[in-house]
Amino acid sequence: MKTETPQPIHLTDYRPVPYLIDSVDLDFQLHPDATQVRARLSLRPNPASTTNNAPLVLDGEKIVLQSLVLDGALLQPSQYRVGEQSLTIANVPAAPFTLEIVTTCNPAANTELSGLYVSGGVFCTQCEAEGFRRITYFLDRPDVMARYTVRMEAERASVPVLLSNGNPREDGLIGGTTRHYAVWDDPFPKPSYLFALVAGDLGAVHDTFTTMSGRDVSLGIYVLKGNEDRCAWAMESLKESMRWDERRFGREYDLDVFNIVAVPDFNMGAMENKGLNVFNDKYILANPETATDADYVNIEAIIAHEYFHNWTGNRITCRDWFQLCLKEGLTVFRDQEFTSDLRSRAVKRISDVKTLRARQFPEDNGPLAHPPRPSAYIEINNFYTPTVYEKGAEICRMMLTLIGEQAFRKAMDLYFARHDGEAASVEQFVACMSDASGRDLSQFFTWYTQAGTPSVTAEGHYDAASKQYTLTLEQQVKPTPGQEQKQPLHIPLGIGLVGPDGADMPLDLDGVGTLNTPLIELRDQRQTFRFNNVAKRPVLSLNRGFSAPVKMEATLAMADELFLMGHDSDSFNRWEAGQRLGRKLVLDAYRGTAAEADVAAYAAALKKIIDDPAVDDAFKALMLVLPSEGEIAAALGAEVDTDKVHGARDGLRTALAAHLDGELGAIWQRTGEPGPYRPDPASTARRGLRQAALALMVMGNAKRGIALALAEFEAAHNMSAEMGALAALMQVDCPERETALDRFHARHAHEHLLIDKWLMLNAQAQGPNAAARIEALTRHPDFRWTTPNKVYALLSGFVGGNPAGFNAEDGSGYRVIADAIIRLDAINPQVASRLATGFRSCKLLNSSRKSAAQAELARILAEPSLSRDVFEIVSKIAGS
Site residues (vs Zn ion, CB under 5 A): 328, 331
Q: Which of 613, 641, 618 is nearest to 629 (CA)?
A: 641
Among 140, 272, 561, 663, binds ligand PHE (CB under 6 A): 272
Q: Does 128 bind ligand PHE (CB under 6 A)?
A: yes
Report the half-sphere exposure of 591 (CA within 13 A, side-chain side): 13
Q: Which stretch binds ligand PHE (CB under 6 A): 124-132, 199-207, 526-534, 762-770?
A: 124-132
Q: Does 353 bind ligand PHE (CB under 6 A)?
A: no
Strand order across the beta sheet in which 56-59 lies: 56-59, 86-89, 80-82
DSSP 785: T
Q: Closest distance between Zn ion and the C-beta of residue 306, in Å?
A: 7
Among 133, 274, 305, 334, binds ligand PHE (CB under 6 A): 305
CA triplet 176, 177, 180: central angle to 5 degrees? 115
**Contact yes or no for 761/727 (Cβ under 8 A):** yes
180 binds, among ligand PHE, Zn ion, none (CB under 5 to 8 A by kind): none
Q: Which residue blocks in 424-510 are alpha helix, DSSP H?
A: 426-437, 446-449
Q: Which of 747, 741, 755, 719 is nearest to 264 (CA)?
A: 755
Q: Closest distance between Zn ion and the C-beta of residue 248, in Å?
A: 18
Rank residues 266 and 415 by Cβ distance to ligand PHE and give the closer one: 266
- Helix, coil or strand: residue 754: helix
Q: Closest distance between Zn ion and the C-beta of residue 322, in Å?
A: 16
* CA pair distance 352, 336, nearest whole angstrom: 8
Q: Does 391 bind ligand PHE (CB under 6 A)?
A: no
668 binds, among Zn ion, ligand PHE, none (CB under 5 to 8 A by kind): none
Q: Closest distance between ligand PHE and the C-beta of residue 548, in Å?
A: 24
Q: Closest distance between Zn ion and the C-beta of residue 330, in Å?
A: 9
Rank residues 384 and 785 by Cβ distance to ligand PHE and give the closer one: 384
Q: Closest distance between ligand PHE and the C-beta of residue 240, in Å?
A: 18
Q: Closest distance between ligand PHE and the C-beta of residue 129, in Å?
A: 6
Rank residues 144 and 694 by Cβ distance to ligand PHE and give the closer one: 144
Neighbour-count burial for 642-652, b at 16+ CB within 10 Å, e otherwise: bebbbebbbbb
The letter for the amino acid at 518 is P
Crossing angle of helices 392-403 and 324-342, in 10° steps, is: 70
Rank residues 194 and 774 by Cβ distance to Zn ion and give the closer one: 194
Q: Does 617 bind ligand PHE (CB under 6 A)?
A: no
CA triplet 514, 516, 518: central angle to 5 degrees? 90
* CA pair distance 499, 513, nearest whole angstrom: 19
384 binds, among Zn ion, ligand PHE, none (CB under 5 to 8 A by kind): ligand PHE
Among 26, 139, 144, 271, binds ligand PHE (CB under 6 A): 271
* CA pair distance 237, 217, nearest whole angstrom: 15
Q: Does 384 bind ligand PHE (CB under 6 A)?
A: yes
Neighbour-count burial of 615, counting CB atoms closer than 10 A to its CB (0-12 exposed, 13-18 middle, 19+ buried):
middle
Would you call 427 a catalytic residue per the annotation?
no
Among 103, 119, 126, 382, binds ligand PHE (CB under 6 A): 126
Rank residues 336 and 365 by Cβ distance to Zn ion and give the closer one: 336
103 binds, among ligand PHE, Zn ion, none (CB under 5 to 8 A by kind): none
Rank residues 331 and 541 by Cβ distance to Zn ion and give the closer one: 331
Q: Which of 461, 399, 385 is nearest to 429 (CA)?
A: 399
Rank residues 126 and 807 by Cβ distance to ligand PHE and give the closer one: 126
Rank residues 318 and 618 by Cβ distance to Zn ion and give the closer one: 318
Neighbour-count burial of 201, counting CB atoms closer than 10 A to its CB (0-12 exposed, 13-18 middle, 19+ buried):
middle
Q: Closest distance between ligand PHE and the C-beta of residue 829, in Å?
A: 13
Q: Closest distance between ligand PHE and the C-beta of residue 797, in Å?
A: 20
128 binds, among ligand PHE, Zn ion, none (CB under 5 to 8 A by kind): ligand PHE
Q: What is the 3-state secondary structure (H, E, C) of 586-597?
A: HHHHHHCCCCHH
Q: Which stretch binds ligand PHE (CB under 6 A): 125-133, 413-421, 438-446, 457-465?
A: 125-133
* CA pair distance 281, 303, nearest whole angstrom: 12
Active-site entry in 128, 272, 306, 712: 306
Q: Closest distance between Zn ion and the C-beta of residue 829, in Å?
A: 21
**Contact yes or no for 276/259 (Cβ under 8 A):** yes
Q: Does 298 bind ligand PHE (CB under 6 A)?
A: no
Q: Closest distance between ligand PHE and the C-beta of residue 361, in Å?
A: 20
CA triplet 26, 28, 30: central angle to 5 degrees? 165
Rank residues 237 and 762 by Cβ distance to Zn ion and give the closer one: 237
Strand order across the beta sheet in which 161-164 lies: 115-119, 122-126, 197-200, 161-164
824 binds, among ligand PHE, Zn ion, none (CB under 5 to 8 A by kind): none
The set of residues, in sequence order, having a beta carbon less than 8 Å from that of 734 and lying 6+ positions away, is 702, 706
Q: Does 379 bind ligand PHE (CB under 6 A)?
A: no
String of DSSP letters for 149-187? EEEEEEETTT--EEEESSEEEEEEE-TTSSEEEEEEEEE
Question: Is the bond preceding 129 in cis, omega lying within 30 degrees of 0?
Answer: yes
Q: Does 740 bind ligand PHE (CB under 6 A)?
A: no
Find the residue with minimal CB distance to ligand PHE. 268
271 binds, among ligand PHE, Zn ion, none (CB under 5 to 8 A by kind): ligand PHE
Among 306, 379, 560, 756, binds ligand PHE (CB under 6 A): 306
Q: Does 268 bind ligand PHE (CB under 6 A)?
A: yes
For residue 208, the surrounding DSSP H or E stretch is strand 202-210
**Contact yes or no for 57/86 (Cβ under 8 A):** yes
Interaction residues for ligand PHE, span 320-349 (CB under 6 A):
328
Which is it for the CA torsion 75, 77, 79, 82, positive or negative?
positive
Q: Does 140 bind ligand PHE (CB under 6 A)?
A: no
Site residue total, ligand PHE (CB under 6 A):
13
Q: Does 785 bind ligand PHE (CB under 6 A)?
A: no
**Contact yes or no for 164/184 (Cβ under 8 A):** yes
* Residues annotated catalytic, as ranges: 306
Binding site for ligand PHE (CB under 6 A): 126, 128-129, 267-268, 270-272, 305-306, 309, 328, 384
